[in-house]
């Protein structure tokens, strides 16, 4: 009888949060900004104290890679698949695709998305492009989104007085008059976190910052320089961009602070990355040199993005990792964090980097792969790379850390033993991939859009 009472007493004790509760997950993805704009990565022109604090308290990955443009990266990160498997149109996520939000919602998480959507297929007038339920189908219980069923040409821009659709209801320009879109999205997510603080939640914030148009933020209205000779305001895009980067950092700080306020920081993983390189009209100083934004192109300026991870009390403090990460890796990482075993309907391309967030060695990649055909009149292609070397499908071979602009082709000098070994390794990856896209004029009118959903795993 004594053992019976002991068992009952044990069952009535509150469960340990560490043992019982999977962590909350917050994934923040900035729009059109790369490594050269962050202090912890060596930026000279920008102030990012909140993100730098994340790096100091958590893990900074030195080698995370996206694709060169927004939709290709967004489809890749949400589905965990290389673009050759499922990407067919700019601005489109096939509603038949399973996303990381579907995975987590099915696993018991409350889910929300706020910010930029641009995935309904509006640019090609695809089926269900005007359906407000598409984010719900993609796994999100709640949403607050710009460019869901209305293009910016139809409704308006994303910053001041933005048209937003929230949980099936439009919030018009008139209703949002004078309000700042990034703040509205942040407010929505902070409210979502507050309402769901006692449940595991997944908050996805694909930011509208810092995509053009480059306009004042709430912190810089009235601060524009005036040309005294003409008495006109100077249209300084770089100045506006810098202010937008600073405000993006401020919003990240608000979200991190919210987890502290709610007392959930020790059970919340916060990930920060970006979808592609910086706008090509922006030139930034980085470690004493000029870096021209490379959005849309396949160099490091277009594909090398930040990745910071902070999990209070779990991530090693100030750890800098050279481990390779690409956007297929987020899906299995979130699955492992949630304690969800991947099944037959889950992607096969990615590799979890969760062990590294716990201070473990994990199973880091030997290479990353990029398949790029956005159907947006950009130069397509494929490459595979290590942290040091990069091989294109057409044979060009570079050492990006020493040659960011890829001006010195090493293809004829691979006889060096170490270099030759890497070249062979990367060539094996490319040989295992499906055909390289080559149509440089591909756009919204292109008819032939091949995909290879059942292609073998590349390694």
Average confidence (pLDDT) over 35-42: 97
CATH of the domain at 325: 3.40.720.10
Per-residue pLDDT, 172: 92
Examine residue 230 and state whether it is found in any structural domain, yes or no: yes
Per-residue pLDDT, 17: 38
Q: Which is more confidently placed, 424 or 6?
A: 424
User: What pTM was computed for the model?
Assistant: 0.93
Which range marks the domain in which residue 219 is found? 21-367
* 387/360 same-domain check: no
* 209/167 same-domain check: yes
Dump strand ranges (E) for 36-97: 59-65
Mean of per-residue pLDDT scores for the chain: 93
Per-residue pLDDT, 18: 43
DSSP 318-340: TEEEEEEEEGGGHHHHHHHHHTP
Per-residue pLDDT, 20: 58
How sure is the predictor about 236, in pLDDT bands with cuts at 50, 70 and 90? confident
* 336/427 same-domain check: no
pLDDT in tens, 239-263: 999 999 999 999 999 999 999 999 9
Examine residue 449 and state whether it is found in any structural domain, yes or no: no
Q: Which is more confidently placed, 30 or 2?
A: 30
Examine residue 457 and state whether it is found in any structural domain, yes or no: no
Per-residue pLDDT, 228: 42
Beta partners for residue 30, in sequence order: 274
The beta-carbon contacts of 425-430 under 8 Å, at least 24 apart in sequence, are 425/366, 425/367, 425/386, 426/367, 426/384, 426/385, 426/386, 426/389, 426/390, 426/391, 427/391, 429/367, 429/369, 429/384, 429/458, 429/459, 430/382, 430/383, 430/384, 430/391, 430/393
Judged by DSSP in three states, 269 sits in strand
Distance CA 390, CA 410 (A): 10
Distance CA 146, CA 166 (A): 9
Nearest to 391 by CA among 434, 420, 426, 419: 426
Tally the domains of the chain: 2
* 275/320 same-domain check: yes
Average confidence (pLDDT) over 336-345: 97
pLDDT in tens, 440-449: 999 999 999 9
pLDDT over 80 (residue 1): no
Dihedral Cα 214, 218, 220, 226, nearest 10 deg: 70
* 228/256 same-domain check: yes
* 389/326 same-domain check: no
Helix (H) or strand (E) holding 239: helix 237-262
φ, ψ of residue 212 to 5 degrees: the values are: -65, 155
Examine residue 297 and state whether it is found in any structural domain, yes or no: yes
* 428/282 same-domain check: no
Average confidence (pLDDT) over 371-388: 97
Per-residue pLDDT, 12: 40
Helix (H) or strand (E) holding 310: strand 304-310
Examine residue 445 and state whether it is found in any structural domain, yes or no: no
* 363/385 same-domain check: no
Helix (H) or strand (E) holding 113: strand 110-116
* 149/51 same-domain check: yes
Per-residue pLDDT, 10: 37
* 332/298 same-domain check: yes
How sure is the predictor about 11, in pLDDT bands with cuts at 50, 70 and 90? very low
Tell me the chain's radius of gyration from C-alpha atoms: 22
Pick the last residue of a domain from 367, 390, 406.
367
Residue 198 CA: distances (Å) to CA of 17, 148, 193, 315: 10, 29, 9, 22
Examine residue 372 and state whether it is found in any structural domain, yes or no: no
pLDDT over 90 (residue 151): no
How sure is the predictor about 156, in pLDDT bands with cuts at 50, 70 and 90? confident
* 417/294 same-domain check: no
Per-residue pLDDT, 223: 60
Examine residue 309 and state whether it is found in any structural domain, yes or no: yes
Examine residue 299 and state whether it is found in any structural domain, yes or no: yes
* 289/400 same-domain check: no
């Amino acid at each position: 009888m004594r053992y019976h009472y002991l068992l009952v007493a044990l069952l009535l004790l509150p469960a340990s949060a560490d043992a019982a509760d999977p962590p909350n997950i917050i994934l923040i993805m900035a729009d059109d900004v790369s490594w050269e704009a962050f202090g912890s990565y060596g930026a000279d022109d920008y102030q990012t104290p909140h993100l730098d604090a994340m790096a100091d308290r958590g893990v900074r990955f030195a080698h995370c890679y996206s694709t060169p443009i927004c939709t290709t990266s967004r489809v890749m990160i949400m589905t965990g698949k290389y673009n050759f498997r499922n990407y067919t149109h700019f601005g489109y996520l096939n509603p038949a695709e399973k996303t990381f939000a579907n995975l987590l919602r099915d696993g018991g998480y409350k889910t929300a998305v706020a910010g930029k959507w641009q995935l309904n297929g509006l640019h090609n007038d695809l089926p269900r492009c005007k359906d407000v339920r598409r984010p719900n189908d993609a796994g999100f219980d709640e949403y607050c989104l710009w460019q869901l069923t209305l293009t910016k040409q139809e409704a308006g821009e994303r910053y001041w007085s933005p048209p937003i659709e929230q949980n099936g209801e439009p919030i018009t320009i008139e209703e949002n008059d004078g309000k700042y879109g990034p703040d509205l999205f942040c407010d929505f997510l902070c409210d979502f976190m507050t309402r769901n603080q006692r449940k595991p939640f997944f908050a996805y914030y694909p930011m509208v910052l810092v995509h053009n148009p480059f306009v004042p933020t709430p912190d810089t209205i009235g601060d524009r320089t005036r040309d005294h000779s003409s008495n006109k305001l100077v249209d300084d895009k770089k100045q506006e961009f810098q202010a937008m980067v600073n405000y993006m950092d401020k919003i990240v700080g608000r979200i991190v602070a919210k987890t502290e306020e709610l007392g959930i920081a020790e059970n919340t993983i916060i990930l920060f990355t970006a979808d592609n390189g910086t706008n090509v009209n922006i030139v930034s100083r980085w470690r004493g040199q000029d870096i021209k934004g490379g959005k849309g192109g396949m160099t490091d300026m277009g594909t090398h993005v930040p990745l910071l991870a902070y999990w209070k009390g779990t991530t090693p403090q100030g750890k800098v990792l050279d481990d390779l990460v690409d956007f297929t890796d987020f899906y299995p990482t979130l699955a492992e964090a949630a304690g969800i075993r991947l099944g037959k309907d889950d992607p096969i391309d990615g590799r979890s980097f969760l062990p590294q967030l716990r201070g473990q060695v994990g199973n880091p990649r030997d290479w990353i792969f990029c398949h790029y055909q956005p159907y947006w009149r950009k130069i397509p292609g494929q490459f595979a790379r290590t942290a040091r070397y990069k091989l294109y499908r057409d044979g060009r071979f570079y050492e990006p850390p020493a040659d960011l602009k890829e001006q010195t082709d090493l293809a004829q000098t691979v006889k060096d033993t170490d270099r030759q070994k890497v070249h062979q390794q990367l060539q094996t990856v490319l040989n295992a991939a499906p055909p390289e896209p080559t149509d440089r004029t591909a756009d919204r009118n292109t008819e032939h859009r091949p995909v290879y959903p059942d292609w073998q795993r590349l390694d």
